[in-house]
């Protein structure tokens, strides 16, 4: 046999067998070791992609929630303004009602005071009339008691009252 590159056939045979055994060993180890490693790497890659997708989804959700939150804040400010406006209006209405009630009550008090004053004036006028009548009767009684009988005395009292009249009582 001839030598190929100055290699003996046994060395070539061993090299070929070694290459075949390395190839078979590679296939066997690839099946036993590399496939689980590939599967592990594939799972890791899928998990990372899932994490990235979920992170993107979470970011979209966060952006959406932020937009909703900002919209709610704008609505809250609008509602706040509406509530404050309603409260101001209610306060003004209440103030107007209170003022109206106070004016009505004051008018009632003034009216009652005027009526009481009128009653007091009438009572005072009546008392003055009675006093004048009493005084006139006493004076007339003393003067007439000596000279005049009862019929003349009554006519003198009536004449005196007519002379005094309503003008005297009202002034």
Q: What is the DSSP letter of 33?
A: I
Residue with tokens 């060993």: 25
Q: Domain map of the chain by residue range? A: 9-170
At 3, give phi and psi (nearest 5°): -95, 135
d(CA 3, CA 5): 6
The three-class DSSP label of residue 169 is helix
At 143, give phi and psi (nearest 5°): -70, -45
Mind listing the pLDDT tens digit for each residue in 113-169? 999 999 999 999 888 888 878 877 777 666 656 566 677 777 777 777 777 765 554
**Residue 82 corresponds to which tokens in the numbers above?**
């509406």
Are 135 and 160 in contact by the 8 Å Cβ rule? The answer is no
**First and final C-alpha spacing in the chain:** 172
Taking Cα atoms as reference points, which of 150, 153, 122 lies closest to residue 137? 153
| Mean of pLDDT values over 43-62 | 95
Taking Cα atoms as reference points, which of 12, 50, 49 lies closest to residue 20? 12
- Which residues are CB-neighbours of 140 under 8 A, at least 6 positions away? 153, 156, 157, 160
pTM of the model: 0.38
Q: What is the DSSP letter of 7?
A: B
Q: Is the pLDDT of residue 21 over 80?
A: yes
């Amino acid at each position: 046999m001839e030598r190929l590159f100055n290699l003996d056939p046994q060395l070539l045979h061993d090299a070929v067998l070694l290459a075949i055994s390395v190839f078979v060993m590679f296939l066997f180890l690839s099946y036993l070791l590399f496939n689980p490693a590939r599967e592990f790497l594939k799972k890791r890659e899928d998990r990372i992609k899932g994490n990235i997708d979920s992170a993107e989804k979470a970011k979209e959700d966060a952006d959406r929630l932020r937009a909703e939150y900002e919209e709610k804040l704008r609505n809250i400010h609008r509602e706040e303004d509406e509530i404050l406006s309603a409260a101001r209006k209610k306060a003004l209405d209440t103030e107007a009602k209170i003022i109206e009630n106070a004016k009505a009550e004051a008018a009632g008090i003034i009216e009652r005071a005027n009526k009481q004053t009128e009653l007091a004036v009438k009572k005072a006028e009546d008392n003055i009339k009675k006093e004048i009548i009493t005084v006139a009767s006493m004076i007339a009684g003393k003067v007439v008691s000596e000279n005049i009988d009862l019929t003349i005395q009554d006519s003198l009292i009536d004449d005196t009252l007519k002379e005094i009249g309503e003008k005297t009582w009202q002034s």
